[in-house]
Amino acid sequence: MPITERVGHMALRVPDLDEAVAFHADVLGLVETERQGQVSYLTCNERHHELILIQQQGDARGYEHIGLEVADGEALERARSGIAAAGGELVGETYDGEPGIDRAALVRGPGGHTYKLFCGMEGGQSLPDGDRVEKFEHVSIKARGRLTGSERFIEQGLGFQFSDRMGKTASWWHCDADHHGMAVVVAPKHELSHYAWTAPDLNAMGRICDRLAARGRKLIWGPSRHGPGNNLFIYFHDPAGAMIEICAEIAKMPPVGDYVARQWPGGLGSINQWGGPPPPRFLLTGFPIAPDAGKGVPA
């Protein structure tokens, strides 16, 4: 039975909260919907938030959690009951009172990757006109060693379904019509690879590049088109050093679309249909799991 209904949000610790909010507003068009103390909630659509930025304390750099939306409170408790059998662990009890959602529970997967399962996201936000991304789309994590433990947890613990695999290097998983909401790639250590947003089209991606350049920043990789997912892509760093991907034209899984899950050849050739392999800066970029992940957002 499916558990996750959609990828909800990313929560990151940042060294300068005001700078991070301004960057995401100027470059991606996000709007701050609420700020409570040292925590900012931002969105690009009618949902209360699709990004949480948390003022970093001392050297506590990293990502707090990956937010995944479930149908309701019953689905939340059902998901919690299967976490241990899937190779994960519960982090505290179900709680409420966090801005924008009804209730939530934190769980930890292999390697320490932390997820917030939540339900009851507030909607109805009315944003000013602007040139912005459309939604928070997916997250890609890095896993040390073999992918089997992480894949088992993504499938059995979080309820994602298989989309694609590339040799023993990476795999992609979906929870709705989009080709992937989660991806996992082999790496020297467990950390975040990148977090991704949907743009309307290649022209919109170009305007994001212009706004990035106006801030004195450059792309890490792209524009080009991936093989798995068939989406257009660009990658760049946010001010905290985490990597952002902007996508367009991502493939749709059945029954909405006709993408056929497949096994791609090993190596890295398949992930760029227009050019060469990813540059070293892309491959080496990683954002750590925050110490005491899950403690930075009020619960």
Question: Using one digit for the tens of pLDDT, what is the confidence trace for 5-36?
Answer: 999 999 999 999 999 999 999 999 999 999 99
Mean pLDDT along residues 200-208: 98
Does 1 score more than 60 pLDDT? no
Predicted local confidence at residue 266, as pLDDT: 82
Q: Which domains does the chain have, with CATH numbers?
A: 6-119 (3.10.180.10), 135-284 (3.10.180.10)
Better-scored residue on pLDDT, 269 or 150: 150
* Mean pLDDT across 260-274: 90
Alpha-helix runs per DSSP H in the chain: 17-23, 73-81, 148-152, 202-214, 280-284
Question: Predicted confidence band at 269 (pLDDT cuts at 50, 70, 90)?
Answer: confident
Most confident among 189-203, 264-278, 281-295 (mean pLDDT): 189-203
Dist CA 160 CA 179 (whole Å):
11
For residue 219, what are its two tokens? 């792309």
| pLDDT tens, residue by residue, 277-298 | 999 999 999 999 998 876 655 4
**Does residue 299 carry a pLDDT above 70?**
no
Q: Please name the residues in contact with 83: beta carbons below 8 A apart, sequence gap of 6 or more.
A: 89, 90, 107, 157
* Average pLDDT estimate for 188-212: 98
* Residue-averaged pLDDT of the chain: 95
pLDDT-wise least confident of 8-22, 147-161, 201-215, 259-273: 259-273
User: How far apart (Å, rounded) are the C-alpha atoms in residues 242 and 208?
Assistant: 17
Section 69-98 average pLDDT: 96
- Tell me, what's the pLDDT at 298? 47
User: Tell me, what's the pLDDT at 146?
Assistant: 87
